[in-house]
Chain A
Amino acid sequence: MWNVLCALALLAIAGEGRSAADPTQPQAPYMQFVPPAAGTYQLQRIQRVPEARLLDRHARVRPLRELTRGKVTLLTFFYTYCTDPWGCPFAYSLMTGLRERLMAQPGTGGRVRFVSISFDPTVDTPEALRLHAGAVRSDARLPWEFLTARSMAELTPLLEDFGQDVRVELDKQGRPVRTINHMLKLFLIDRGGVVREIYALDYLHAEMMINDINTLLLEEKSATLRWFSN
């Protein structure tokens, strides 16, 4: 069902066409350049991933360190009931497509993982995550972890560290409605736990992201070769 909703939302968006685009509204990122080839550039070392303890969909406590080390990680924040077509559904669709491509890419299996962390630990319980992630096919070639926190108090420092601002939309009477405003960001993390790229909506170019991931994979290969040559 989730996939169907995503597909419908994206189809509706695609039908709008760019010529009618309102520059004040979020739009689908579009890429009018040939991305530099993987391994021909260096990604910056932006910041270290902080420590945090989260819950997976089986209600097991998982240190974030365990989920951001040893593999190249693409991490994002979301909430299960998000309906903003340029928010979580877009990220989900994009990540699904990237995952398929990376799993089909020779030599990538087991070296990349995806991580999605909920903004709302109260609503997004492990049970809610299980339902939400039900459509994601389990595949050891590229695991996709869905996580929540035990409390907002435990999640807040993590959101702050990642620079994820969130706020609940209010109605005219000042009452909260069922929308959490947040800035969509995806974080690309190297196997040492360092954030190497951050993508906001206008930077979510699938081709470029594949090249970035491959750039980090090539770095690993170079480091391994250097280690053996020493």
Chain B
Amino acid sequence: MSRKKWSIGVAFLSLVTLAFSSHADETCNSPYMSKLIKGQEDFVHVWTLGVEGLGDGSDKLVTIDVAPKSKTYGKVVHSASVGTRGEAHHMGFTDDRRYLWAGGLSNNQIYVFDVGTDPARPKLVKTIGDLTAKSGLVGPHTFYAMPGRMLIGALSNAGDEGGATGMAMYNNKGQFVARYDMPTGEIGGVKGDGYGYDLAINPARNALLTSSFTGIDNYRRNIGELLKDGEAMKRFGNTMVLWDLKAMKPQQIFSVPGAPLEIRWSLKPGDNWAITAAALTSKLWLVKQDAQGKWQAKEVATIGDPSKVPLPVDISITADGKGLWVNTFSDGMTRYFDLSDPEKPQQTYARQTGKQVNMVSQSWDGKRVYVTSSLLERWDKGGEDNEQFLRAFSWNGKELQPAFEVDFTKEKLGRAHHMKFSAR
């Protein structure tokens, strides 16, 4: 082959492929789709709830420069508004990490942002509006990449707006593929409650694990009123489900009281366990295979003082599976648990990082930790306690040191929720 010919070949490919030159990672992503990055992330994208009267009042994807050597380090460098307010909540990369799919909990829209072409300037390229029409589900929550498709965990249904829900699968082109209901029957002596929240996959075990929360009738209700309504407080999920991923069939239902939320598999090759935090009971639960290969769920630690309802929300596992960050919303604490023995997590560090905190994301190398503030539009605190921010910290294994902060209210952005990283 001549050198000229090769040059023409790569030139052609360069022209058509420069648009795809972005990587990104954090340990709470679907870890199996594309090459992970070990080094410094360049941007943190924050899916932000619009607030009436603040800026344009719309939900938006806010991009913050987090490259320490950059002139705009710690600053908002871009904001991509979707032009409406629909309770921005969670988002997830496609398998190739070229696109971010972001959901609106109250308007059931799925916004697809191109972050691959220029991660400094994500662009809204598609809005998928047929989730409810195609699946009957509402409240798109988790967006989890599978090869060539996206598995979406929903929180509720369009019928009674209660907690019975399911998952919707779309292909990467944005076309609906299938719906899978959360089980309501009995498997292995445990009855499914039909509720849904997070989902996470372990391909080496053909395992899909799902957790459970509550319906739109509760999560779109004022938290003060909700807490006083004893009947409504009974309508929270108390189960996790292990699915045969290939068959997309539930195999086991675990009793996990108190709304088990985020799920993180240990990413260490060969590990066979995942961990979650139950919000209402303030417990860490381990889902692990026993010596016979049967999956078991067991309570392994207490987070703070459950009697004070600290409300553990987001968790972030280290890349080696030996540590876990846990954010508790009510007391604004960010806690670190040593997971060297996942059967006996030990809290080794805690620091108040805000008056209210929700999401926590760490870099792959574990040296940087980012915290945001908003939980749900109608559950966030009021008055001076309603801080809205992204706070960045460095972590030396002993202490969180503040690096920078973006005040989302002062910047007229909204309520800071889910974070994803990218790099040039």
Chain A contact residues, CB within 8 Å of chain B: 18-19, 21, 23-27, 29-33, 35-36, 40-42, 44-47, 119-123, 128, 152, 156, 161-163, 165-168, 176, 178, 180, 183, 185, 187, 195, 198-203, 208, 212
Contact = CB atoms under 8 A, between A and B. Distances in A.
A23 B268 contact: yes
Interface in B180-226: 203-207
20 contacts: A19-B270, A21-B269, A23-B268, A35-B206, A40-B247, A41-B247, A41-B248, A41-B249, A44-B178, A46-B171, A122-B9, A152-B12, A165-B96, A167-B13, A176-B7, A176-B14, A178-B10, A183-B33, A198-B146, A208-B246
B169 interface: yes
Nearest to B247: A41
A47 B147 CA distance: 12
A163 B148 contact: yes
B20 interface: yes
Given A167-B17, A178-B6, A198 B148 contact: yes
A6 to B, nearest CB: 21
Contacts of A30: 204, 269
A45 B249 contact: no
Contacts of B21: 167
Contacts of B11: 176
Contacts of A178: 6, 10
Contact of B171 (A21, A32, A47, A185): A47
B173 interface: yes
Given A21-B269, A123-B1, A183-B33, A152 B246 contact: no
A68 to B, nearest CB: 15
Nearest to A47: B171
B45 interface: no
A24 B116 contact: no
Interface in B135-179: 146-149, 169, 171-173, 175, 177-178
Contact of A198 (B32, B149, B247, B270): B149
Contacts of A21: 269
Contact of A36 (B98, B244, B269, B272): B244
A165 B116 CA distance: 10
Interface string B338-364: 000000000000000000000000001
Contact of A163 (B172, B270, B320): B172
B29 to A, nearest CB: 13
B34 interface: yes
Contact of A46 (B7, B9, B14, B149): B149
A130 B14 CA distance: 26
Interface in B298-328: 319-320
Contacts of B269: 18, 21, 23, 27, 30
Classify chain B: how many residues form its interface, as a range: 35 or more
A119 B10 CA distance: 11
B83 to A, nearest CB: 27
Contacts of B173: 47, 161, 163
A165 B147 contact: no
Given A152-B12, A156-B16, 18 more contacts: A18-B270, A19-B270, A23-B269, A29-B203, A30-B204, A31-B206, A42-B247, A119-B13, A122-B8, A122-B9, A163-B148, A166-B16, A168-B14, A183-B95, A183-B96, A198-B149, A200-B33, A202-B32
A199 B7 CA distance: 31
Contact of B175 (A24, A32, A47): A47
Nearest to A46: B171
A186 to B, nearest CB: 9
A78 B135 CA distance: 36
Candidate in B35, B147, B169, B205 with the most chain A CB atoms within 10 angstroms:
B147
Nearest to A159: B16
Given A46-B148, A183-B96, A208-B246, A200 B17 contact: no
Given A163-B148, A167-B13, A183 B34 contact: yes
Nearest to A41: B247
B319 to A, nearest CB: 6
A198 B146 CA distance: 9
A50 to B, nearest CB: 10
A84 to B, nearest CB: 10
A4 to B, nearest CB: 21
A29 B206 CA distance: 12
Interface string B26-43: 000000111111100000
A24 B249 contact: no
Nearest to B149: A46
A226 B16 CA distance: 46
A31 B6 CA distance: 39
A44 B169 contact: yes
Contacts of B12: 122, 152
B267 interface: yes
A32 B272 CA distance: 9
B4 to A, nearest CB: 10
A57 B334 CA distance: 60
